[in-house]
Structure 1
């Protein structure tokens, strides 16, 4: 149990709050070599001190109140047995800065509730949403028949969809999982690759296999695939089919044309669910073709039981630099003229002088 003892003053002296840390939560809260504590000190304006099982926060009243909320949520997670790291601390601070979380009247969940939803567990590793938008995305999959997960690389849109598909299969909500991707990147070059058709297509489907291996015992995957319980196939193989009692994921949907997107979505059969994932900033369609992902919201935005989930650079759960890279490219793209000319960067301009 966590206890608080606020000591706030309006006469110019710093406010102070003390939190008691349960024994079971102390080491997870501090982290290896106090790395979690150092991350919190860097992100919070209040001064943070730990002595024994007591955490003391000092500073301006508003800063202390915010830091108290952050540590109260972290202690809740640690007391529940969840592993914490510096990334967890950063996400906690980010979520509590979001009005929908920081304002209870806005109907938001507490960050501890967001981060404690377990989707799948295997060999001691648990798959769960790690940001507020990821939790909204997962909830949308539970609540809608067709969900579009749109966002930059590293936001977990495909991985979480795969986890929900495996969960649905294990809970017997569906009889099979169908994973598909367009092989558009290959274009005309596909014919020049060595091997059979399956061997040529395999590299484009490999990321889906990799995710499966994280969620299902590797030795059981060939059996499930040979039985048709799990199918991984190029998008072109979906034409003419009706997919009943299946969890269907279309990955890399930014590389579909509007016609392909329509073809895919109309494969939906009874008892099935579709999740479409894509990154609208990484379109590889040849010849300036329109992306089906860019126009589908205009077409289906008002259709009942279809949901569009947006993920951003703040939801990136890969290396911290990935979020910075996504933001840097977005700024660079925004500065490019509409006529297609490239604006040289500062290093290029210096070299030309």
Structure 2
């Protein structure tokens, strides 16, 4: 018997899960809107629980909600009946996630939560199940079949649960007026934190500040550029305002013209009106400008006064590129 083609199996798996996700659109109804409003109006936290693979999805949903402005807690369904129910307060909303809605742990946990008087949301793949019939509100995540060839291993069902959780998070972000600045406050660490928080002033803080006057002779200008190791120097007027900038590219173009270099000054070869940026600008904005104009340097000006040069390598060093 011929073995199935691996590429075909992978493509079929992806298509089955894609179809399951697409079918969720038909389950976005008034019940879904009630769930969103209930969580939004909750004065406590959303406590999310599940068993097996659904428990892993519950953890992911909690992580997404916490990072987007909806306070949430993860509670494993098995641990809940051995003491973790103590994390639920009277002001919390509880959401249980289960494909079948009939697992033993769920059947034990549901009456206990209802006895506490908390609103119970069931995210369930079987609308006739114990969980669905006992919940105050239901999120339908029914899938036609699993991507597993035996239609057993949670694949399509867990993908549907995760996507439904993302839909909840997005709607709650909108209701909470959650902005990019809010997101930055919750993500201060790692590469993401740098992208959201790092400013131009942070990048150039330890950089040398190369500068020459417009009348500076070419040899002295080259020495300033090489000594400061940024491959560029600003050309500054006596009042501290910017006259222009000289990069190694400007030097190269001058030499290609083969003009006599005797008597050449910084003013003769500099680029007037170069691209500039404010030190308070976000580092990612600086990267966008460098990419837009296909350049490697930006002159940093504060109140029209020269304060330094930002090099593309400064962004690379911080892992932003």
> TM-score, normalising length from structure 2?
0.22
- Which one has the largest radius of gyration? 2
